[in-house]
Structure 1
């Protein structure tokens, strides 16, 4: 099973006005990620984001309503990427192929979108007030459905018995670590930034460690 990493933006619109709006929204979201990751929600100014993106402040309010709306959009973007990728795992998949594909996709998100991941981490650490609506009963039902996929594989003897909930936490934490704690990794390794090759090596290490812990043989990259 091969997972692809979707674009970190909405689909293109057909009409010229729609394409202009999409371009503006993408530029605003990118500038917002930079500011929210550097200063947090409270320390970020809509004026600064507008200046950085080269648009009037009124445009930001037109597209996103207010600062909270923009902040929520940044959080929603990364959650849609993460959750959308997790949705592709199904009972009929080969567990080793599916898990390896998911780990590789999540690590690619950490490499390509580290700022959004850090903003999410900061929001969770601060109490997750802005994510209350997201983590509702529907989300908990969705999460149980994801855990049920692993339970099915275990019941069928296709992987070793492990607690699916804690396995999911391990998958999330280990892959997001490379975005959220990039500074610590850099200080320990003596590198300013991990290269694409570094990420590839780290990814395959995670694949081997996690899959072997589940009694699975890691598939070739």
Structure 2
């Protein structure tokens, strides 16, 4: 089923700046809303339930999987993450543009369900810079950082499957690129036809 709203899916290896870029984009674009995913991992730093994620127990997550509540779900770094079916469909049906921050596995699953979804991958300028960012973040021990770096080498290779790739070397430039992608998608013929159906019907366009 086609919805009038657009769906933007942003993925990246941990430490590439995905969350910071999406947060900045949301502050600049009042027509975008973020879909909050469910996860079994504990909150980090100042994260709050219902703001960054819905933090739930593994048993509850598994029950949601069994009920078919998720569009997609995956295990990442030993934790489970899932995207609510009802939350996405209701917002897109209402004409809102939704942005998802998920891992590459979930992004590719979403693309199968929503062929019109726009997949955006955020790359670090180098593995060395990614390592420094993870260390500066100060949230993980050396063993966790080592795991994240090992996973990052697998994750960056998935960028080839995405519609757009942004290299986050300079934050301001990467944010400009992200805004440009969102704006360009909204102006595509198919997207305009979905969101401005009355205008297209009046002009005899289909």
Larger % of helix: which? 1
Q: Which has the higher contact order (CA 8 A, sep 6+)?
A: 2
More strand by share: 2
TM-score calculated relative to the size of structure 1? 0.23
Q: TM-score, normalised by structure 2?
A: 0.24
- Bigger Cα Rg: 1
